[in-house]
Amino acid sequence: MNLDVLVRSENKPLIESILLDMPAPSLNDNTADLDRLSRTMDHLGFSPVRIQPRKMDELVRKMRACMVAPFGEPVPGERRTGSRSGSYAEEDGGNFCFRVVAGCTGTNWEILDIAAWSSDASVFGFAVDLGSTSLAFRLIDITRRKIVREMLVVNPQVARGEDILSRIIFARDREGLAALRDSLVHACSDAMGKMLVDSGISARFVYAVSCAGNTAMSHFFWGLDPSNICREPYIPAANTFPVVSAAELGFDFLPNALLYLFPNVGSYVGGDIVAGVVAAGLNSSTEFRMLIDVGTNAEIVLGNREWLLACAGAAGPALEGGVVERGMQAAAGAIDKVRIDRRTLEPDFHVIGGGKAAGICGSGLIELVAEMFSSKILNIQGKFNTELNCPRIRNTPEGPAYALALAYQTDDEQEMLITEIDVGIFLKSKAAMFTILSLICRKVGMSFDDLKSIYIAGNFGNHVDPEMAVRIGMIPDLPLEIYHAIGNSSLLGASMLTCDRTVLEEAERVRSMITYVELNVNVELMNEFRGALFIPHTDRKLFPSVVLDDE
Amino acid sequence: MNLDVLVRSENKPLIESILLDMPAPSLNDNTADLDRLSRTMDHLGFSPVRIQPRKMDELVRKMRACMVAPFGEPVPGERRTGSRSGSYAEEDGGNFCFRVVAGCTGTNWEILDIAAWSSDASVFGFAVDLGSTSLAFRLIDITRRKIVREMLVVNPQVARGEDILSRIIFARDREGLAALRDSLVHACSDAMGKMLVDSGISARFVYAVSCAGNTAMSHFFWGLDPSNICREPYIPAANTFPVVSAAELGFDFLPNALLYLFPNVGSYVGGDIVAGVVAAGLNSSTEFRMLIDVGTNAEIVLGNREWLLACAGAAGPALEGGVVERGMQAAAGAIDKVRIDRRTLEPDFHVIGGGKAAGICGSGLIELVAEMFSSKILNIQGKFNTELNCPRIRNTPEGPAYALALAYQTDDEQEMLITEIDVGIFLKSKAAMFTILSLICRKVGMSFDDLKSIYIAGNFGNHVDPEMAVRIGMIPDLPLEIYHAIGNSSLLGASMLTCDRTVLEEAERVRSMITYVELNVNVELMNEFRGALFIPHTDRKLFPSVVLDDE
């Protein structure tokens, strides 16, 4: 993917690589080297300048080493600010010329490196999504706005607890917290180090590490006590984090990088959502948009550049394949697409990565249920039509089931059966999802028709077919073109920051704008939910596009 | 000494210890703990707030620990900003009460520690003079503005070179620099650690370490390449230094302290002089003042709050006792006061610390020469009157000499002889001093009479008797009350900063105001110098108060 499309403000890079030519030190101007550098940067508008105390000696030595270097030609297309500004033009061909790399922290410009005038101007950065289950990395060529490489690894903290709550309990004492933090930092270091080696890029050219995660993950990452996140009144230790050198958080192998961590809204809405909102552009849109992020929970944000409303609900597990018997994430071996022949009721399916089926992911389940419904294997209540004469429908001790894959099609040589119980569990998830979407719109007096764009994030979003999701009544029956799959929106927002410093402000604005809405379990919600348990819904007027054969 | 007299701006402490009471986190206000702290500090005028990334977890835990603490009574006399401000008064008796210690960095307020409301409010700091020869430390009770303890240790770098130039050469490679820096940091840590133990004060109550040194010492201390200090065009690596946590510079045993290093003017005028100027108040004076700092060099600053002129000259060594045969610093064993009976020509002298004499220090030499002159042992050219019939005057292979101490009076049981050569060397130093003072005044078209206060700094200043120094023509013949001995002015300036944050701005103002004047060896200087070689001077009109018996 070319990141160009995502950078909304041109010419406001997070990391600037600037060619400077300044008069060399002389008896007439006895400003000290670093003060001279700060002064020049200041004149060019990079103000105030900050230099890490531990980097000062290295930077002076590099400046001095560049003083005797031959005067090279400016690289085409590069900003050669020194001479252009006029202030330093007198000494054209002067002999204090070098490239300086500076990073924006939102309040300062931090000098990150100095190199010879003729050196390669490449500037790289990492975007990181600190997911509870997986850590996603993207190595970005910031200069060219290109993705160099991507990597996904299992979050090693899973070993200390699958769910975030048990990890928070594990981290209650300092040793537990340190262990969780260390495992996270090591996993990130390993992944980033490997990506650099595989790409043949030196770690010293990495100038930004942009991270986003939910509130608990942010606390683990920073080494902050997370225990109050899950204890009334649910107040995190910190929602905003200073920009620091990556080495300061333990990434010693990245000597020149600044580290950014997206701010959290509160215990329930983390930096991953803030990054996702920026990625989906809710914060800059005049029309109403919605972001649906299906992870362990479903997290929804609704709004535009004037206001943003967020809520969360336990709609996720089944959609990510986590609850049904043969469920799995949308990874190699997962059935993600299903079609059922209306006449023979024989299935046809697609396995991610080809080969034999290991399980079924969320989008596969959606398609399976939609197709079983359209084929009348399921009625609108999600019950099996056991009167059908079809070899794929079995009677099992757990009730009726549909044999989606036969023994020869699966990796464990066991038939893959989807039972009525599985369907029931799944329908609860889809009902929860629709209920949440419905309630959040009603909170602000909107109807679904007011929505101009709906972004479906997460791995789920990449695989789901909106038409199928509409058919089962999981998402509103709107023109399909308003649905957009944007993949890992947290990673996308983090990636945007590496190229665009205005994202720093935008993230802070989003953070302070988002209002979190608690969806209380009340009568309204239960009525809504009960109607949504049907396929597609008891109120058929909500899904006019879903036409059954007998209608 | 009580530091009260030195704090010019009341109620602007560098370190603030504030009692806060804020509403505890609640469902109505879900601001995260650290953001809540920052917001409250901001409301109270401490803005912007910064927290070291590595301290965040510790501070949150301390805040939370204070949340359940019983509500104590405000300590009398303490600023109880929270309730007084009005903004947080609603929840009187609220349960989020603690003491916060914050330090001013000039641009930010850094949260240094959090403690229980009822905890001891003591705030301590160190002032350090990083001298080339000696390191001087002062432990200061900032709350009470009292000096707790002082200590002087030999600068361990002396082992790598007595003079600063050989140390700069030693530090040209990174290993040499690291070795010099490490020895300095260790010596400082050892001294400060010992002072704390001896005073029964915990290191965690130290919140400020305020250091001043010459430019080379500042570079060694910070770990900056000093080689360009002594290489044309003599441009230091840095003249200004950020405020950092003491731990960041290697003082891990001071977990809560900020470290301040006074800025340098340039290679020749360091932070020690800047601190001295602030200590002597030149920068705030409407009348003309002069600071004379006699160390390895004599460094002179002249001016007032409008302008400051500095120059340096090699007038020091003899005055610090470094050049003459039996010379020594003004320490135990040094003869610092001398009287000679006009009739018998027998001496009477005082030894610092009592006991036998080990040598003679600068002030002793001044008195000796003044008394030998008044007793007509020396003529105005500094030559011995060998026709005097006096057993104290000897003929030695190096020419005539005066036996100041007899064998039984010295620690090595050798007579202490001061030869005509010693006197000649000394007179060159005193002539250099007077010449510098004379030239710097002439540079700005001033006469000595325009000076309203002259501050003599350094150990030398503490021992010298201005009347004697005038008598030999070393310093201008002005009313004696304008001369003030202020001791170690660098240490004094550094001490003032620990109690008064306006010194931060003042030091920066002084730094940018000082103009360094190079005293070129030219005809004017040589003529001036030649006249000053006499006792007191060839131009007797310059020293009207010096009356010889035969006049």
**Closest Cα to residue A185, out of A135, A145, A140, A116?**
A135
Contact A57 B232 (CB under 8 A): no
| Contact residues, chain A, for B239 at CB < 8 Å | 31-32, 35
Residue position matching structure tokens 């039972």: A419
In chain A, which stretches have pLDDT less than 70? 1-10, 68-95, 296, 314-323, 521, 549-551
Predicted local confidence at residue B134, as pLDDT:
92
- What's the pLDDT at A319? 56
Nearest-angstrom CA–CA distance, A508 and A77:
32
B318: pLDDT strictly greater than 60: no
Spatial strand order in the sheet of B483-487 = B483-487, B453-457, B289-294, B298-303, B308-313, B514-516
Residue A398, φ and ψ in degrees, nearest 5: -90, 10
Work out the average pLDDT over B243-248. Answer: 96
Q: Do B30 and A237 touch (CB under 8 A)?
A: no
Cβ distance A225 to B57 less than 8 Å, yes or no, reads yes
**B186-206 pLDDT, tens digit each:** 999 999 999 999 999 999 999
B307 half-sphere exposure, CB direction, 13 A CA radius: 7
pLDDT, tens digit, 9 for 90 and up, residues A374-425: 999 999 999 999 888 889 999 999 899 999 999 999 999 999 999 999 999 8
- Give the per-residue pLDDT at A88: 36
Q: Classify burial at B218, counting beta carbons within 10 Å of its beta carbon; exposed 0-12, middle 13-18, buried 19 or more.
A: buried
- Chain A residue numbers with beta carbons less than 8 Å from the beta carbon of B222 are 53, 56-57
Q: How far is B28 from chain A (nearest CA, A)?
A: 9
What gap in Å lies between CA B538 and CA B545, rounded to an integer? 15
Beta-strand pair A298-303/B96-104: unpaired
CB–CB contact A237 B177 (8 Å): no
Separation of alpha carbons A261 and A222, rounded Å: 9
Q: Does pLDDT of B325 surpass 50?
A: yes
Of B25, B266, B516, the CB nearest to A233: B25
Cα A504 from Cα A501, distance rounded (Å) = 6
On average, the pLDDT of chain A sits at 88
Cα–Cα distance between B262 and B494 in angstroms, integer?
Answer: 8
Size of interface A-B (CB pairs under 8 A): 124
Q: Provide the pLDDT for residue B69.
A: 42
Least confident residue range of A465-474, B90-99, B257-266: B90-99
DSSP state of A478: -
pLDDT at A68 (0 to 100): 53
DSSP B176-207: HHHHHHHHHHHHHHHHHHHHHHHHT--GGGEE
Measured distance CA(B443)–CA(B303) in Å, rounded: 12
Query: B125 phi and psi, to 5 degrees?
Result: -150, 160
- Quick: pLDDT tens for A136-167: 999 999 999 999 999 999 999 999 888 889 99
Q: Which two tokens stand for residue B245?
A: 């946590």
Using alpha carbons only, what angle is made at residue B454 by residues B452 and B460, rounded to the nearest 5 degrees?
Answer: 165
* Pick from B128, B123, B140: nearest CA to B1: B140
Of A34, A222, A267, the CB nearest to B237: A34
Residue with tokens 């080809």: A354
Which of B64, B244, B266 minimises the CB distance to A53? B244
Determine what percent of chain B is predicted with pLDDT higher than 90: 70
Among chain B, residues having any CB pair with chain A shorter than 8 Å are: 25-27, 30-35, 48, 50-51, 53-54, 56-57, 60-61, 64, 107, 177, 222-225, 228, 232-242, 244, 248-249, 264, 266-267, 516
**pLDDT over 70 at B378, yes or no:** yes
pLDDT tens digits along A462-509 = 788 999 999 999 999 999 999 999 999 999 999 999 999 999 999 999
pLDDT band at B71 (very low <50, low <70, confident <90, very high): very low
pLDDT of the residue at A392: 94
CB contact under 8 A, A223 and B249: no
CB-CB neighbors (< 8 A) of B50 in chain A: 242
Averaged pLDDT, B518-534: 82
Task: Report pLDDT digits (tens) over A164-176.
Answer: 899 999 998 899 9
